[in-house]
């Protein structure tokens, strides 16, 4: 068992991000057994869950004439318009049925504000609205994070970059992540994480 100062953050292992889902990441379901095994090493486990209302402004459907994966301008900057996914209470928003959820002490739901998307486990995409995860981890004395889940180049990378900026020692287990790789997004994310001091395991 790892020391109590280390935590495992499991990012968005949900049906819509797995094969057959609305925003499927290739091989997204392959990482579930490895994540389940890794959970047993940690005293602190947190799951994150994308949790969008149906009218979320990051959905292409809510912008007439807009194509999925196109870009639009939001008050906080450029935003990818996604296919509708992880709608609150839907089967797609549920955790993958194979994921062990019992070991987790906290579930962080993000992206529930209709007007702002949220990739990071720590902040909404305006980079200032916190999820509360930072305070939770620090109040438990956690200083070191291991991040796994979906997708490497979006929610995992954003979470890892924020973790480093907030003073955590962060490592991304690439073998327990899968990427979307939208227009070179994976290479860009890996480069940013390396420059920020995030470990890539």
pLDDT higher than threshold 90 for residue 117: yes
pTM value is 0.96
| Residue closest to 14 by CA, chosen among 115, 111, 85 | 85
**Rounded distance between C-alpha atoms, residue 201 and residue 186, angstroms:** 15
User: pLDDT (tens digit, 9 = 90+) per residue, 79-99?
Assistant: 999 999 999 999 999 999 999
Active site residue 110: yes
Q: Which of 16, 18, 50, 110 is catalytic?
A: 110
- Report the percent of the chain where pLDDT is more than 70: 100
pLDDT higher than threshold 90 for residue 183: no
Q: Which of 29, 155, 162, 177 is catalytic?
A: 155
**Degrees (nearest 5) of the Cα angle 44, 186, 190?**
60
**Rounded distance between C-alpha atoms, residue 90 and residue 73, angstroms:** 27
Beta carbons within 8 Å of 178's beta carbon, 6+ residues apart = 25, 26, 27, 28, 30, 31, 150, 151, 152
Segment among 102-106, 136-140, 179-183 with least mean pLDDT: 179-183
């Amino acid at each position: 068992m790892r020391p109590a100062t280390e935590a495992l953050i499991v990012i968005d292992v949900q049906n819509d991000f797995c094969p057959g889902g609305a925003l499927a990441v290739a091989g997204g379901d392959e990482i579930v057994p490895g994540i389940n095994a890794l959970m047993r090493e940690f005293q602190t486990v947190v799951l994150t869950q994308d949790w969008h209302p149906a009218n979320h402004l990051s959905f292409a459907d809510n912008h007439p004439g807009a194509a999925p994966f196109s870009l639009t301008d939001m008050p906080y900057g450029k935003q990818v318009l996604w296919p509708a996914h992880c709608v609150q209470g839907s089967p797609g928003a549920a955790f993958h049925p194979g994921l062990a959820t019992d070991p987790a002490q906290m579930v962080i739901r993000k992206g529930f504000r209709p007007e702002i998307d949220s990739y990071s486990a720590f902040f909404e995409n305006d980079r200032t609205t916190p999820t509360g995860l930072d305070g939770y981890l620090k109040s438990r004395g956690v200083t070191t994070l291991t991040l796994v889940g979906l997708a490497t180049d979006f929610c995992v990378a954003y979470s890892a970059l924020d973790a480093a900026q907030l003073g955590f020692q962060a490592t991304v287990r690439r073998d327990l992540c899968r990427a979307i790789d939208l227009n070179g997004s994976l290479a860009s994310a890996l480069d940013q994480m390396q420059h920020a001091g995030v470990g890539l395991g």
